[in-house]
Structure 1
Amino acid sequence: MEPLRDDDIRASFVNCSKGEARRISLPRGLADLPWADLDFLGWRDPGAPDRGYLVAERDGRLTGVTLRVPQGGPRSLAKTTMCSLCLTAHPGSGVSLLAARRVGVSGREGNTVGAYMCADLACPLYVRGKKAPVMTMRYKESLSLDERLERMRVNVDQFLDKVFQEH
């Protein structure tokens, strides 16, 4: 991914108002992120732990979505859960259900789409082995790095497709 500017990131959001996009807390050290290792930019807001953001290239343009952690009971810390985007397994709270409001009328009516994702939204770094989940057992895959990256990109595209669905 090419380095992104604040204005480009804020202009990419499709499921919130322009005012909400202006108020989003962007990741600290934006210029210092490992851009060459990112297939999408994902981050959680440290000031609002129930919020996350994902910005990816879709159909040749940047597309950003705001994400929320739905209210619910505490998750088991003894359970291992797998991210639906990168298929990285994490123990405990390493994976969160994140929900994005759909675009258009459907979103204004309160409809959302959710997926279990790495809680820190660092999927590209997990796939590349630049960041390791905290766990005692790692799953071995026979797919090459390029195949795993392509699978993750397809999964992100499919999630974004659901955000754009009107029903």
Structure 2
Amino acid sequence: MHALTEAAIRRSMVNCSRSEAAALTPPRDLAELDWASLDVLGWRDAKAELRGYLVHERDGDPIGIALRAADTKMSSRRSAMCLLCHSVQSAADVSLFTARRVGAAGRNGNTVGTYICADLDCASRVTAVPPSALHLDEELQALAVEEQVVGLHKRLQAFTADVTRR
């Protein structure tokens, strides 16, 4: 992913108004991010706990999606899977996020929802070697990680397509 400024992140938001994009709180560590290793930038708004944002690249350009988390949590006694990075974790660490659709559909209240890691840090989870590949040699582990990254890209592109469909 190419390095982005705070202004570029605000401009990339496709499903919120300019005033909502101007009001978003950027990630605290924006200046220290290793952009070359990021596949998607996800963060929760420090000033509004139910808001979150995902920014990734589509056709070489940044595209951002404003999200809203459900105000209830699932039981920590169960497991749940993030539908973007496919990591399985405690259900309390996965949240239902909704994104307003773009255009007239969004203004009419239409949203798209999916279960995503509550901290929106899917990028770090897909770059970790999956437990099922830990016993393999380094080359096969790298292939397993690459497969996870490709899967994240596909699922993120599909979610973005749902949000931007008019």
Aligned to 1:43: 43
CA contact 1:113–1:163 (8 Å) conserved in 2? yes
Q: Distance in 1 between matches of 2:31 and 2:2?
A: 11
- Structure 2 residue 109 is the aligned partner of structure 1 residue 110: yes
Q: Distance in 1 between matches of 2:3 and 2:114?
A: 26
Q: Distance in 2 between matches of 1:49 and 1:105?
A: 27
Cα offset, 1:36, TM superposition: 2.3
Q: Distance in 2 between matches of 1:29 and 1:145?
A: 25
Q: 4+ residue runs of structure 1 moved beyond 6 angstroms?
A: none
Q: TM-score, normalised by structure 2?
A: 0.89
Q: Distance in 2 between matches of 1:8 and 1:93?
A: 32
Q: Distance in 2 between matches of 1:109 and 1:10?
A: 23
Cα offset, 1:77, TM superposition: 1.1
Cα offset, 1:43, TM superposition: 0.3
Q: Distance in 2 between matches of 1:13 and 1:65?
A: 6
Aligned to 2:136: none
Moved more, 139-148 or 151-160: 139-148
Aligned to 1:124: 123
Question: Per residue, is there more helix in 1 or in 2?
Answer: 2
Q: TM-score, normalised by structure 1?
A: 0.88
CA contact 1:3–1:31 (8 Å) conserved in 2? no
Cα offset, 1:139, TM superposition: 4.9
Q: Classify the secondary structure of the residue corresponding to 1:129.
A: coil
Aligned to 1:23: 23
Cα offset, 1:37, TM superposition: 2.1
CA contact 1:37–1:125 (8 Å) conserved in 2? no
CA contact 1:82–1:88 (8 Å) conserved in 2? yes
Root-mean-square deviation (Å): 1.7
- Structure 2 residue 132 is the aligned partner of structure 1 residue 140: yes
Q: Distance in 1 between matches of 2:25 and 2:49?
A: 12
Aligned to 1:134: none
Structure 1 unaligned residues grouped into runs of 5+: 131-137
Q: Classify the secondary structure of the residue corresponding to 1:151.
A: helix
Cα offset, 1:29, TM superposition: 1.9
1:26-78 CA distance string (max 9 Å, x none): 0012010232221011100122111100111112211111000134x442110
Q: Distance in 1 between matches of 2:5 and 2:73?
A: 36
Aligned to 2:84: 85
Letter in 1 for 2:121: A
